[in-house]
Structure 1
Amino acid sequence: MYILRSSRADDGAALVDLWRRSVDATHTFLRTEDRQAIDDEVAAFLPQAPMTVAVGQNDRPYGFMLIDGSHMEALFIDPDVRGTGIGRQLLQHGLSLHKHLTTDVNEQNAQAVGFYLRMGFIETGRSPCDSQGRPYPLIHLRYDG
């Protein structure tokens, strides 16, 4: 079990590193130039974003979740601990705060799609592009408790 806490200013570099390693392990469909552009955006935004961080006994981040309103904008897990329940723990925490949670997931990220469907999310729609207009289809999901 991991300890969940709010992100702090000194988490920034570790969270960006975690995001990079997670994306490299799960988003192999990204074109190199798109991966770099997204990295630049995330590196500028993520360190200041308020989120829930899952840490181990050493206070090292192993996962994080960002919720804006009742929309989960991000859920990323350190690839070294995927499959240990950390994603489920973070998501269940988010659902305890928001009975009706929505999220979007890249269609090409089959592991993530399967995870959300197993967790009880239902598909509500699709978009042919991501939120920046890049050619990465999204599946829109909703959890209604």
Structure 2
Amino acid sequence: MTDTTIREPREEELDRLVDIWLKCSLISHHFIDAHYWQEQKDAMRGLYLPLSENYVAEVEEGIVGFVSMMGDYMAALFIEPEYQRRKIGRSLLLYVKQNREAIHLKVYAKNGDAVNFYKQNGFHISGTGRDEATGEEELFMEWRKKD
């Protein structure tokens, strides 16, 4: 396991988070046209990240992932591809679970790796829907703290 520090990002690091988001989105959401993700880049930097409660995962080499929360809604969890499967995503999840009773998220049904990751970390599918912007099926997933 990689030695990971979890902390809040500094303003000057937001571009790094957008770079991670875009790179991961293009790979994990390969079933959606790349142009769509490119068009979302400014909104991610200027709107979504500033409105979210963000935490970064930092290793010796620098920031390699992040999680964005909006209350109990997980808006984003992305880890650089070369750092996946090193328990960094799990560390970020455990961090945000600490002070919450529940977490909800949406994930594309075709993103099987993410669906499996969330299931392995205590989430279950609570419903389905369709993303209006892409037309893709989404799974609604949730985690609840056990008594």
Q: TM-score, normalised by structure 2?
A: 0.88
Are 2:4 and 1:36 aligned? Answer: no
The runs of 5 or more residues in structure 2 that have no matched partner are: none
* In structure 2, distance between residues paired with 1:66 and 1:40: 16
For these two proteins, the number of residue pairs brought into alignment is 142
Structure holding more strand per residue: 2
Letter in 2 for 1:54: A
Please give the alpha-carbon distance, in whole angstroms, between the structure 1 residues aligned to 2:58 and 2:76. Answer: 16
In structure 2, C-alpha distance between the alignment counterparts of 1:68 and 1:128, rounded to whole Å: 21
CA distance in 2, matches of 1:118, 1:47: 26
Given the two structures, how large is their TM-score scaled by the length of structure 1?
Answer: 0.89
CA offsets per residue over residues 11-61 of structure 1, 9 Å max, x none?
012111111221122111111332222234223335534401111135x21
Q: 1:75 pairs with 74, 77, 92, which one?
A: 77
> Which residue number corresponds to residue 58 of structure 2?
55
CA distance in 2, matches of 1:143, 1:78: 24
Aligned to 2:134, what secondary structure does the other structure show? coil
Contact 1:13 1:47 (8 Å CA) reproduced? no
Cα distance in structure 2, aligned partners of 1:32 and 1:69: 29
Point out the more displaced range, 29-38 or 120-129.
Answer: 29-38
What is the distance in 2 between the residues matched to 1:39 and 1:13?
10
* Structure 1 residue matching 2:98: 3-state secondary structure: helix
CA distance in 2, matches of 1:96, 1:47: 21
For structure 1, the 5+ residue unaligned runs are: none
Match of 1:27 in 2: 29
The CA RMSD over aligned residues, in Å, is 1.6
| 2:146 counterpart of 1:143 | no
Alpha-carbon distance in structure 1 between the residues aligned to 2:136 and 2:87: 27
Aligned residues with identical type, % of pairs: 25
Distance 1:16 1:46, change over 3 A: farther
User: What is the aligned partner in structure 1 of residue 99 from structure 2?
Assistant: 97
